[in-house]
Structure 1
């Protein structure tokens, strides 16, 4: 203990810049908690509360976040829930910082990597909303950081699978990421098997044994697949028991239909009669944003009998979307790239509409009560959860400080694109240098998993739903982590090359002298 007390000042000096950023991020979150009580609401919040209070798989959203809400139901405080979400945001920044340092990164790069998640005003506001994104971001960043630990054991691989399963049951975008992580683990296992075979070749030859690469790979990949897929399969079984449908949600066809209405032209598609009822005669430029085709009463889909997410309606919508994509693949690609490009706009234009955009800003006045029927039902469950008033209490001047801070402290989309371009640029520069001066081609370093995951988080919503500002925020810490690791790897490579050249020059006179003496 005496050693720990003596070393604490030195530790604090070494990490003073990070501690300063972390302290500022903590202060901003404290001001938010005191300025907006008990929490801020989003239209999805009420559905989450209904599932938390009446556990049953929802047709639109998986129940992971609802079970997170249920963990704190006994405290009857949404204020406690968002406080925990703020703590998860702080822990996300800590994980990014620690991972960069553990991978040999420079302290300045580690600090810069965690600044957006700790200090971005929109990130802090999202943590104060009763939505799943903060929990999902924490789980996914934890999974990426765990995957970067070395050596990666079977136990760590199993824990990685549990994190991905929890993330998938929090937001369905986690499902394709299971495949991304599985490929990463497969590549890691093959490299590890190759290294083990090479290092033990002589010993194994003497004992007439052989190295079995398949066993080494299986020890890494199989625990991940089991712990990732079994919980998802169990949830799918629960979903089937509740709705007699396979899957973890029942709205994939509806959302993809809404996505394709940004370009679908029935004159080109020539749909059969049962699909023609979903056509919109207006030209794409005159149509509303995609989400209106899910919720607006004037939508061809919403006008069909029954609720929007019945099995029959979702199947019909999925068939229409599939036909639209097959008939107009280039238009689908163009609109997907357009939606993806909205993630990188220099400013922050209003999109998809003023109401949705407004939910991501700290309000100056008390938000109005919900208007949609599902939200009205959810409001009654929320009152049971809180056992008190749900009206947002805005405390000035604290709330005003956060509104002013939000006007200046956020990561522009163009800056996010620049961060995402850093890893491939650093790798390309290192590869060119290695090609000129050293044999062999360097492989991408530890940044590749975080970088790929960040791009997947941006691309999948653009391809299957539409762009939304809240969808970009989970990609930010992963993009920053990848950039910090890529810069670190390039700097380390340059330092090693310089050291090698210096050692070579220093040894040259000695070699020449020995040659002359001989």
Structure 2
């Protein structure tokens, strides 16, 4: 069997996902975010786009959070198979391609996100699927499909928007011709434009969210000194009132009662003023801004993702997590019954034990990314450029725009190992296309 290694690797990976479904029914719920996605009233999100909410709305008639998580688990498995197929097409042996998709199959955090009512698993599938299509072969059809996927990724998580622009730049630099480039941009603009128009109709503003300024402002709370910034009176209300060494991590400034952001009336006005303050703070204190970003990025050198005694939403629960009364009705309306995450032993315990070691430590992940860039230059394997750059953007952009979060790094895992695999492949893309059909040639 040509794909024996992959089949062998898939079986335990499926088993881990079965443990998640059996051990933590019906799904894992994340703070208030999951309930915002589950609301029956469909409106453009304020802090995050509502693309994932639209998907949940399509699945609502089934009244099953388990169905949602099972579909997300299947997406994760399909993603690994897609990356494997591309690497095999480029000449990697079955065992080599399987080895490179092992992190996609077995990383505990990817399994966690697949089992969570959050947009991340769908976002990972959309972005990686788009990159795989572009690397597979560039034609107007594949470029349009990739653009559509990246557009959908943009209304799922706003970081998808710059990834569409990055992919367009890749096609331009690689000189694939104007037809694929136009197809990518037009197809990507369709979901983005439709969503922004919806936001305009609902809220009077052509945008994807109303929180980009808030998030950037929270980033500046790590260092902002109003004696240096000297903001105008209308922005001074956003100055922090505690010493730098006592300030909490940036996300706390978005939601906690002490945040001066809450003193500003009006969602759109708050976002605009916060963005203005943030830009002034960064221009006035560029070194402090870069130092704050560097401090966050140093967490990529941490071997353990979460310490044993660390409080984090990214640990599988050991006991049922009650749902707050204020949002319980939202989840139970979607599920048409009890929706709190139950813990069913022994399956839950087995998966919790696996979570302690079943992951690629971030330092090794960064070594793999650096190796991909190095081998790409050495072997002139420029097809690896797109997945490598998209992975880099996913890893480094959050600390610049908001703050570091383990969850924001995980979507880069499939792209890093795809890029590394492409640099190790024996077969050039042009040769692979010719072997598949002598009539096919690179689009342009």
What TM-score, normalized by structure 2, do the two folds share?
A: 0.92
Which of residues 234, 249, 253 is equivalent to 1:293? 253
- Asked whether the equivalents of residues 343 and 458 of structure 1 are also in contact (C-alpha less than 8 Å), the reply is no
- For structure 2, the 5+ residue unaligned runs are 429-444
Q: How many residues align?
A: 428
SS at match of 1:148: helix
Partner of 1:3: none
Q: How does 1:287-436 map to 2 (within 5 A)?
A: 287-305=247-265, 310-349=267-306, 355=311, 357=312, 359-370=313-324, 376=326, 378-430=327-379
- Asked whether the equivalents of residues 167 and 174 of structure 1 are also in contact (C-alpha less than 8 Å), the reply is yes
Deviations 1:21-69, CA, capped at 9 Å, x for gaps: 111110110111011111110021000011xx21111111111111111
Find out whether 1:35 has 2:35 as its counterpart: no
Which of residues 155, 158, 176 is equivalent to 2:144? 158
Across the aligned residues of Structure 1 and Structure 2, the Cα RMSD in angstroms comes to 1.9
Q: Distance in 1 between matches of 2:136 and 2:103?
A: 23
Deviations 1:445-489, CA, capped at 9 Å, x for gaps: 321100000010112211111111111111001001111111225
- For structure 1, the 5+ residue unaligned runs are 1-10, 193-216, 431-442, 494-518
- Asked whether the equivalents of residues 343 and 467 of structure 1 are also in contact (C-alpha less than 8 Å), the reply is no
Partner of 2:158: 172
Q: Distance in 1 between matches of 2:411 and 2:171?
A: 22
SS at match of 2:136: coil
Q: Distance in 2 between matches of 1:415 and 1:315?
A: 39
Partner of 2:10: 22
Q: Distance in 2 between matches of 1:141 and 1:109?
A: 19
Which of residues 165, 175, 180 is equivalent to 1:220? 180
Moved runs in structure 1, 4+ residues, more than 6 A?
none
Q: Distance in 2 between matches of 1:45 and 1:321?
A: 28
Deviations 1:203-256, CA, capped at 9 Å, x for gaps: xxxxxxxxxxxxxx2211111111111221121111011111221100011111
Q: Name whichever of 36-45 and 342-351 sits farther off.
A: 342-351
Q: How far has the Cα of 1:349 moved from its partner?
A: 4.5
Partner of 1:195: none
Deviations 1:247-267, CA, capped at 9 Å, x for gaps: 110001111100111111111
Partner of 1:186: 172
Q: How far has the Cα of 1:350 moved from its partner?
A: 5.6
Partner of 2:35: 46
Q: How far has the Cα of 1:429 moved from its partner?
A: 4.3
Q: Distance in 2 between matches of 1:244 and 1:463?
A: 28
Q: How far has the Cα of 1:296 moved from its partner?
A: 0.2
Partner of 1:439: none
Q: Distance in 2 between matches of 1:428 and 1:381?
A: 51
SS at match of 2:260: coil
Deviations 1:73-132, CA, capped at 9 Å, x for gaps: 111000110011111111111111111111222333311221111111121111111000
What TM-score, normalized by structure 1, do the two folds share?
A: 0.80
